[in-house]
Amino acid sequence: MSLRLVFAGTPAFAVPSLAACLASGADVVAVYTQPDRPAGRGRRPQPSPVKAAALAAGVPVEQPETLKTAAAQARLAAHAPDLLVVVAYGLILPRAVLAIPPLGCWNVHASLLPRWRGAAPIQRAILAGDAETGVDLMRMEAGLDAGPILLERRTAIRPDDTGGSLHDRLAALGAEVLAEGLARLLAGEPLTARPQAEEGVTYAHKLDKAEARLDFQRSAVELERQVRAFDPWPVAEADLAGETVRVWAAEALDLAHGAAPGRILAAGPAGIDVACGTGVLRITAVQRAGGRRIGAGDYVNARPALRTLHA
């Protein structure tokens, strides 16, 4: 069968899925992405990663501010898509938009639904200590990430996974599951949708920079997850003996202590050990204001007084 497809996505996560659409044999007639946004030191408008990929592939790009207007909906309908594929687009799709493609709208979502519906499922899964996550190919309906599941891929969350590493792995899995769905659709094979479970619904609220601050009253295990989840954004922050630094890497140590949370217990080449509500957090990579990421040993060399604080 022939298939006219419109793709909607914005960030780097969506680029592998766009590539899967382009390689599928479907006719990608347009790519929708958010308007160019100011970025970088010059705050000049920059194209989204999806826009850059679409232009490189010679696909027409649409960048409406909203899809809620009749004009925007008429423009989409004029592309006559059989299917709309949405991957981290970032704009709300009204019911009128969902009704345009005869074959409906598919969404690639980076969690095992109904767990972690919403904006930041990758980071929330790490923060919560989940052992497993994955990607779902979902048929979109009204409601936030509430549609039935067409296909799914699972992956373990590794002990050293960061928000960045898990993002990249799930982006690749998302492209795989989308490619399988499109191949089956083009071959005329039915895709059976299963409703999401009614129990186990959780919401992955958007990340806020205010969440980056490490609270040493909490357990070292929780803080290690926070450091990993917030790499590469917004990056965890901590106060180390009066200086606020960004914390890029840390590990939880199951050590008993009687020190007040936040006290530095040891500082040397191996890292900076900080007392937590439970256990010890060993900080191994930091970034000072205006500086670059450095190992904790280099940081201690720059602040030799840290070696004596625990004496």
pTM across the whole model:
0.95
To the nearest 10°, the Cα dihedral for 137, 142, 143, 147? -30
CA distances from 216 to 1, 136, 260, 262, 272 (A): 59, 35, 9, 5, 13
Total residues belonging to the chain:
311
Please tell me the predicted confidence (pLDDT) of residue 190.
86
Please tell me the predicted confidence (pLDDT) of residue 305.
83
Please tell me the predicted confidence (pLDDT) of residue 306.
85
- Whether the CA torsion 159, 228, 153, 14 is positive or negative: it is negative
Please tell me the predicted confidence (pLDDT) of residue 8.
98
* C-alpha–C-alpha distance, residues 271 and 297, integer Å: 6
Residue 219 annotated as lining a ligand binding site:
no
Long-range Cβ contacts of 253-256 (<8 Å, 24+ apart): 253/220, 253/279, 253/280, 253/281, 253/282, 254/220, 254/279, 255/279, 255/280
Q: Is the bond leading into 234 cis (omega within 30 degrees of zero)? A: yes
What ranges do the domains of the chain cover?
4-204, 209-308
* C-alpha–C-alpha distance, residues 304 and 61, integer Å: 55
Please tell me the predicted confidence (pLDDT) of residue 195.
97
What tokens does 94 get? 């009204």
Is 2.40.50.140 the CATH number for 209-308?
A: no
* C-alpha–C-alpha distance, residues 242 and 256, integer Å: 24
In angstroms, the first-to-last Cα distance of the chain is: 74
Residue 165 annotated as lining a ligand binding site:
no
Please tell me the predicted confidence (pLDDT) of residue 207.
95
CA distances from 265 to 166, 252, 268, 277, 282 (A): 32, 14, 10, 13, 10
Residue 112 annotated as lining a ligand binding site:
yes
SS (H, E, C) the chain: CCCEEEEEECCHHHHHHHHHHHHCCCEEEEEECCCCEEECCCCEEECCHHHHHHHHCCCCEECCCCCCCHHHHHHHHHCCCCEEEEECCCCCCCHHHHCCCCCCEEEEECCCCCCCEECCHHHHHHHCCCCEEEEEEEECCCCCCCCCEEEEEEEECCCCCCHHHHHHHHHHHHHHHHHHHHHHHHCCCCCCCECCCCCCCCEECCCCHHHHECCCCCEHHHHHHHHHHCCCCCCEEEEECCEEEEEEEEEEECCCCCCCCCCEEEEECCEEEEECCECEEEEEEEECCCCCEEEHHHHHHHCHHHHHCCC
* C-alpha–C-alpha distance, residues 66 and 107, integer Å: 18
Residue 114 annotated as lining a ligand binding site:
yes
Which CATH architecture fits 4-204?
3-Layer(aba) Sandwich (3.40)
* C-alpha–C-alpha distance, residues 186 and 24, integer Å: 9
Please tell me the predicted confidence (pLDDT) of residue 92.
87
Would strands 61-62 and 83-87 be described as parallel, antiparallel, or unpaired? unpaired
* C-alpha–C-alpha distance, residues 172 and 176, integer Å: 6
pLDDT one digit per residue (tens) for the chain, 311 residues: 799 999 999 999 999 999 999 999 999 999 999 999 988 777 889 999 999 999 999 999 999 999 999 999 999 999 999 999 999 999 989 999 999 999 999 999 999 999 999 999 999 999 999 999 999 999 999 888 999 999 999 999 999 999 999 999 999 999 999 999 999 999 999 899 999 999 999 999 999 999 999 999 999 999 999 999 999 999 999 999 999 999 999 999 999 999 999 999 999 999 999 999 999 999 999 999 999 999 999 999 999 888 776 54
